[in-house]
Structure 1
Amino acid sequence: MFNRFTKNAAAFMLATFVMLNLCVIAQAAAYRVEGKCVRESAIYKQNETIKFIASVIDEEGKPVTDQEVKFIITKDGYSVIEQGVYKSTTKPKAFTAKLNEPGFVRIEVMVKRNDKFKMTRSDLRLGAGVEPLSIPASHDLPKDFKAFWQEKTKTVHAVPMKPEFTDVKTQVSGVKVVDLKIATPGSKTSTAPLTGYYAKPENAKAGSCPAILLPHSAGVRSSYLHLAAAYAEKGFIALDFNAHGLPNGKPSSFYQEQSKGPLNSYPGMGKTDREDSYFTGMYMRLIRALQFIKAQPEWNGKILVVRGSSQGGGQALVAGGLDPDVTLVAASVPAMCDHAGYNFEKMVGWPRLASWTAPAAKNERYKKIVKAGQYVDAANFSKLIEGQVLISVGFADHVCCPTSVYTAFNNIPHQNKQIINRPAMGHSFPQDLQTEFDKIIDQHVKAKR
């Protein structure tokens, strides 16, 4: 009787202990970290004190106490400035930092969940800029950079442009859309054709339309019919094209298979040689897209916009550097910027070709990657842009970090440029920012007509 009671009591106590721990874990999972940079602009001078505040709150927005919280303050992810662990209280926790050079400070604040610290969407990441308009270039343009890409352009143009069109239905009235495919020479790791959706206003007259190219962000997917059609409805001839020359309109399973198979880890393919680089092939499809859109009789010959986000934003910068006929580059959180940044103690942008984090040692392979990467670096193409430029940047972006974006922006050799700072934004192109981009695109069209 006594033993049975003891066993039952022990089982009850164990169950209670487990339930209590599960409750603690569940509560921690429900908590989130909120905060801000105390200065609204999040822009500071060198050696000026930067201040952030953060609070742990529950689902009702009330402060949560006695939670273990970790913070890490870095030089935009490149190196750690300060880190530590503290217990949350009812009052916001204040953090300070300084930089004695142009750049960015990043802070990450995370609650301990499941007995470990790991950033989640419920945690906090913020950034602040220190004289970002003075962030320098990482290197000069390679002496044969222009010659290399002039040769690649000649290679693309030497292959006759024979577009294959397939009519596509659209619910947008007054617009004609076709599925487009054009054979395009590429690099050793990327030999696919240009594929996309081309849309134009029905019955558009020759020489009457502005043109827009819509390159894609990272990933493996079909081209976007709706986006091309939407711009055609506004009076553009528009080409939305996927990054990999894949067939359009396939089931999602097809693109998932491509992503897991031949296109798995595509950014790193051929990265030790500029001739082999996957991005060399991607940019040659961009050259073909520029050639195609400019050859359309409906183009007015005056307005050519390239708009994209992330990898698409990087391609927009590349397009502006490749072709002086591009009149507006609209690049949100652009990728592929400043591949050599580690050599100058700067955080580099996606896909961080040479290393995902700052390398402890720079071996021969690292040096080969950085050297080849200069020829596919969007920050280098930025030095050649002649047209108007619009860029957006998230100070909390840990993918296309703001240091790399500002490096590209500062490389643009003229003042007909604008950068939209979003201090609390991560790697994103939210709807309100898309609307702001479209307003500026509309203004550009009106000014050029």
Structure 2
Amino acid sequence: MALFDLPLDELHAYRSRSVEPEDFDAFWSGTLDEAGAHELDARFELCADLGLVTVDVYDVTFTGFGGHPVKGWFVIPAGTTEPLPVVVEFIGYGGGRSLPHEHLLWASAGMAHFVMDTRGQGGVWAPGDTADPVGSGPSVPGFMTRGIEDPATYYFRRVITDAVRAVEAARSHPLADTARTAVLGASQGGGLALAVAGLVPDLAAVAPDVPFLCDFPRAARVTDRKPYREIGDYLKTHRGRAEQTHRTLAYFDGVHFAARGRAPALFSVAMEDLTCPPSTVFAAFNAYAHADKEIEVYDFNDHEGGGPFQHAAQLAWLPRLLKA
């Protein structure tokens, strides 16, 4: 795939046309207050007989949106006795937390690593263990249009709330240094990291890798690839609902969360990415509020982005922000 979006100089100047709802902050404040009425009840069960000798792994359950149980992994260097900086990771679209041996990177770098399972997902490319007990009206297969009739019922209201609670759960472990917390993820995980960056005020670092869930008005029109295409398919069937649909999506747009980002950030973008087009990533990057922000540009990559090269960039960048 050749370059299809704006050239790089225009991307650095691009601004989203997504309109922020006037009650955006009130909506999220109320949502998180509602979630806070439920005890976090984070439970960490040490896993035995995994065949892993360099890390200790805990199977985690905590209370997310609506009092629903959410799963996760907590992975730390074996024999850890002193609190460590914490990296909270969110998973890409369709995937779940999978198996512990797939999450060794950050513990190998001397950090505590919390991996949040994504409710209702984990049936496409990596298995998950968290149900989404909430139903929805008519929707396109996938998750992008579940409950899209109203912001209060939209699927990603539940997932973003889970993500905020995942940070709370990670910080509740006695071996977590709460003052040194970073959030990161790729694709959907990057979009969730941006959302958390806008909702949790005291993070140390944020690393959204080719983030999804950004600049919905442009994303729904500039790419024909799923998951964004799910929005177009829904509107093709439900004629006349475009205005209401985009009103709902505005409450979940990474651009608006980015405008509230209060921690240093390292983004990445792939110039041939048809899943998360470069302009949608730059929309969030350009809106990101904290002055200490960087973006790695991968000129000839699709949605795989930087892959292990971006992990290397994060490994070089994060330690200076998470130092004691």
**Range into which the TM-score falls when normalised by the shorter chain:** 0.7 to 0.9
Shift of 1:363: 5.4
Q: 2:42–2:172: 8 Å Cα contact kept in structure 1? A: no
TM-score scaled by length of structure 1: 0.62
**1:164-313 equivalence runs, <5 A:** 164-169=43-48, 170-186=50-66, 192-205=68-81, 208-244=83-119, 264-313=141-190
Distance 2:278 2:61 in 1: 35
Counterpart code for 2:204: T
What secondary structure is seen at the aligned counterpart in 1 of 2:85? strand
Shift of the 223–319 alpha-carbon distance from structure 1 to 2, 3 Å rule, reads farther
Distance 1:284 1:432 in 2: 30
Matched, 1:136 2:11: no
1:58 is aligned to none
Shift of 1:212: 0.8
What secondary structure is seen at the aligned counterpart in 1 of 2:241? helix
Matched, 1:315 2:195: no
What secondary structure is seen at the aligned counterpart in 1 of 2:160? helix
Distance 1:443 1:420 in 2: 18
What secondary structure is seen at the aligned counterpart in 2 of 1:340? helix
1:67 is aligned to none
Greater RCO (CA < 8 Å, at least 6 residues apart): 2
Distance 1:315 1:135 in 2: 22
Distance 1:400 1:342 in 2: 7
TM-score scaled by length of structure 2: 0.84
Shift of 1:217: 0.2
**Structure 1 vs Structure 2: percent identity of aligned residues?**
23
Q: 2:64–2:161: 8 Å Cα contact kept in structure 1? A: yes
Unaligned runs of 5+ in 1: 1-32, 38-73, 77-103, 105-127
Distance 1:215 1:223 in 2: 12
**1:40-119 equivalence runs, <5 A:** 76=5, 104=6
Shift of 1:348: 9.8
Distance 2:186 2:246 in 1: 24
Shift of the 134–350 alpha-carbon distance from structure 1 to 2, 3 Å rule, reads farther
Counterpart code for 1:135: Y
Shift of 1:194: 1.6
Q: 2:206–2:264: 8 Å Cα contact kept in structure 1? A: yes
Distance 1:323 1:223 in 2: 26
Unaligned runs of 5+ in 2: none
2:300 is aligned to 424
Q: 2:182–2:204: 8 Å Cα contact kept in structure 1? A: yes
Matched, 1:364 2:217: no
Pick the structure with more strand per residue.
1
Of 37, 40, 61, 1:158 maps to: 37
Distance 1:286 1:253 in 2: 18
What secondary structure is seen at the aligned counterpart in 2 of 1:266? coil
1:411 is aligned to 287
Q: 1:224–1:240: 8 Å Cα contact kept in structure 2? A: no
Counterpart code for 1:209: L
Q: 1:198–1:228: 8 Å Cα contact kept in structure 2? A: no
| Post-superposition CA distance 1:368-423 (Å, at most 9, x none) | 11000011111211110000111110110010000100000011123200011111
1:56 is aligned to none
Q: 1:225–1:240: 8 Å Cα contact kept in structure 2? A: no
Counterpart code for 2:227: P
Q: 2:95–2:126: 8 Å Cα contact kept in structure 1? A: no
Distance 2:186 2:317 in 1: 15
Q: 1:213–1:238: 8 Å Cα contact kept in structure 2? A: yes
Shift of 1:324: 1.2
What secondary structure is seen at the aligned counterpart in 1 of 2:93? coil
Shift of the 167–280 alpha-carbon distance from structure 1 to 2, 3 Å rule, reads same
Shift of the 162–142 alpha-carbon distance from structure 1 to 2, 3 Å rule, reads same
Give 4+ residue runs of structure 1 displaced > 4 Å after superposition.
252-256, 345-350
Matched, 1:401 2:277: yes
Q: 1:184–1:284: 8 Å Cα contact kept in structure 2? A: yes
Q: 1:378–1:408: 8 Å Cα contact kept in structure 2? A: yes
Distance 2:25 2:224 in 1: 23
Shift of the 342–306 alpha-carbon distance from structure 1 to 2, 3 Å rule, reads closer
Q: Which has the larger radius of gyration?
A: 1
Distance 1:423 1:391 in 2: 14
What secondary structure is seen at the aligned counterpart in 1 of 2:322? helix
| Post-superposition CA distance 1:102-143 (Å, at most 9, x none) | xx1xxxxxxxxxxxxxxxxxxxxxxx4242111013144322
Matched, 1:329 2:206: yes
Distance 1:442 1:226 in 2: 23
